[in-house]
Amino acid sequence: MTAQQQEAIFRRWLDAHLGLMLKVVRGCAAAPEDQDDLFQEVLLQVWSSIPAFRGEARETTWIYRVAFNTALAWRRGERRRREGHETFMKFDVSPQVQPSHVESLAEQEIVARLYAAIRQLPKVDASLALMHLDGLSYQEMAEVLGISENYIGVKLNRIRKQLAEQLKGANDEL
Amino acid sequence: MNFEELQKAWQSHDAGAKVLIDADVLLKEVRRNQRNFRATIFWRDAREVGVAALMTWLFLHWAIRDRVWSLYLVAFACLGVGTFMVVDRLMQRRKQPASNDSLKACIETSLHQVNHQIWLLKNVLWWYLLPFAAALAIFIAAAIWRSRHVAATIGGLCVYALVVAVLYWGIYRLNQWAVRTGLDPRRQELERLLASLE
């Protein structure tokens, strides 16, 4: 694979799957500086993984694998890449880049509480919760984690209950 | 609110919607990070192997110049340690986890690596310290023996043994501390993760 091809794929994945990567990062790290650190690490690993991508797996499955494996190996405060780097990411609040639908404040609150609840789960359960919420099939989740689909079902039942329990207070408030 | 409603709220939220990425700067950063990472690995390997190679050359040069057979042993010990490090590094490199492995495979490979690091640190006496110390002990004993003083030979070796024992005890304790504080918690964490997938 040439450098140009790798760059083209990386740019396409960034356009198509940025939200996926950010969800994994936010589901695994709470503090903004940790999220920044982990996000850079995920991007680096995604970039490095591209030459091995043969198109046999779905792009989303591939990126989930890379992102989860990176989050697993990443340890808070162990390595800081921010020093001396240029800022490539910024939050845009201008109206033209707002999402087409208007997220209600209540929905934003639910999502924020979901992230907090997911971060409380064990790492593997957090990975499953993120994929389940994103609507991945049992087969895709099994591929990402390397376990059987039956076991996925068993674990998801438990995770749903745990999430419901943790969000119970929030739901009452909402 | 049931899970389906939570899922709907989750999916309608676009995590990337309010984030703008400058792809050119990002690519520059990613390449810079990759270069730095490769350079770090290269210089770490070069430092370890370089020291062993330099010491081998120095002792070999000294042995040939002064015709001291016992220095060949020291050079051989340095070469052995350096070779062990290179071979071990090459073998472990093959077993490194790929970032696109399944999570379970990645955990298993990481666990293997951590266990190997623990093994290296716990057995540093056998593969690093002892070969060098034994060769150096023979060199010192031979040097003092040539002076034809038995008492001085025994005394010299006793002093050497004491210094080596104290030094190696310190290194052993340092390695145990590194295993206890850094590697053992990581191993336990990985074992817990693996157990949660089995």
Q: What is the pLDDT of residues A48-58, one digit of tens each?
A: 889 888 888 88
Residue A174 is predicted with a pLDDT of 43
CB B84 within 8 A of CB B48: no
∠A91-A96-A102 over CA atoms, to 5°?
85
Q: Has residue A32 been placed in a domain?
A: yes
- Per the structure, the count of domains in chain B is 2
pTM strictly above 0.80: no
Domain span holding position A162: 103-174
CB B157 within 8 A of CB B140: yes
- Per the structure, the count of domains in chain A is 2
Shortest CB distance from B6 goes to which of A53, A72, A114? A114
Across the interface, do B100 and A107 touch by the CB < 8 Å criterion? no
Shortest CB distance from B102 goes to which of A20, A110, A145? A145
Q: Indicate if B62 and B145 belong to the same structural domain.
A: no
Across the interface, do B27 and A7 touch by the CB < 8 Å criterion? yes
pLDDT, tens digit, for every residue of B47-72?
888 998 999 999 999 999 988 888 99
Across the interface, do B21 and A164 touch by the CB < 8 Å criterion? no
Residue A76 is predicted with a pLDDT of 60
Q: What is the ipTM of this complex?
A: 0.74
Q: β-pairing, A89-91 with B19-21?
A: antiparallel
Domain span holding position B179: 98-198
- Residue A165 belongs to a domain with what CATH number? 1.10.10.10
Across the interface, do A65 and B22 touch by the CB < 8 Å criterion? no
Domain termination residue (choose one: B50, B79, B94): B94
Q: Indicate if A71 and A132 belong to the same structural domain.
A: no
Q: Has residue B4 been placed in a domain?
A: no
Q: Indicate if B145 and B78 belong to the same structural domain.
A: no
Q: Indicate if B189 and B107 belong to the same structural domain.
A: yes
CB A121 within 8 A of CB A129: yes
Q: Tokens standing for B2?
A: 């049931």
Q: Has residue A90 been placed in a domain?
A: no
Looking at chain A, how many residues does it have? Answer: 174
B107 CA to chain A: closest CA distance, Å?
8
Q: Tokens standing for B39?
A: 């350079």
| 3-class SS letters over A1-25 | CCHHHHHHHHHHHHHHHHHHHHHHH
Contacts of A86 in chain B (CB under 8 A): 25, 28-29
Residue B23 is predicted with a pLDDT of 73
Q: Has residue A97 been placed in a domain?
A: no
Q: Which of B7, B29, B114 to mutate to test the interface with A (most CBs of A within 10 A)?
A: B29
Q: Indicate if B72 and B151 belong to the same structural domain.
A: no
Residue A83 is predicted with a pLDDT of 53
pLDDT, tens digit, for every residue of A34-47?
888 888 888 888 98
Residue A96 is predicted with a pLDDT of 45
B4 touches chain A (CB under 8 A): no
Q: Above 50 in pLDDT, residue A77? A: yes
Q: What is the dihedral of CA B8, B13, B16, B17, to 10 degrees?
A: 130
Q: List, for chain B, all residue ranges whose pLDDT scores fall below the cut of 70.
A: 1, 14-19
Q: Above 60 in pLDDT, residue A86? A: no
CB A116 within 8 A of CB A129: no
Shortest CB distance from A135 goes to which of B7, B23, B110? B7
Across the interface, do A125 and B19 touch by the CB < 8 Å criterion? no
Q: 85-124 in B: which are within 8 Å (CB) of A?
A: 97-107, 110
Q: Has residue A89 been placed in a domain?
A: no
Q: Has residue B9 been placed in a domain?
A: no
CB A49 within 8 A of CB B100: yes
Q: Indicate if B175 and B144 belong to the same structural domain.
A: yes
Q: Indicate if B165 and B106 belong to the same structural domain.
A: yes
Q: Has residue A7 been placed in a domain?
A: yes
Q: Indicate if B87 and B108 belong to the same structural domain.
A: no
Q: Has residue B115 been placed in a domain?
A: yes
Q: Has residue B135 been placed in a domain?
A: yes
Q: Indicate if A118 and A167 belong to the same structural domain.
A: yes
Burial of A120 (0-12, 13-18, 19+ CB in 10 A): exposed
Q: Containing H/E element for A48?
A: helix A32-49
Q: Indicate if B182 and B133 belong to the same structural domain.
A: yes
Q: Indicate if A73 and A108 belong to the same structural domain.
A: no
Mean of the per-residue pLDDT values for chain A? 81
Q: Has residue A87 been placed in a domain?
A: no
What residue ranges in chain B does DSSP mark as E strands?
19-21
Q: Has residue A95 been placed in a domain?
A: no
Q: Has residue B13 been placed in a domain?
A: no
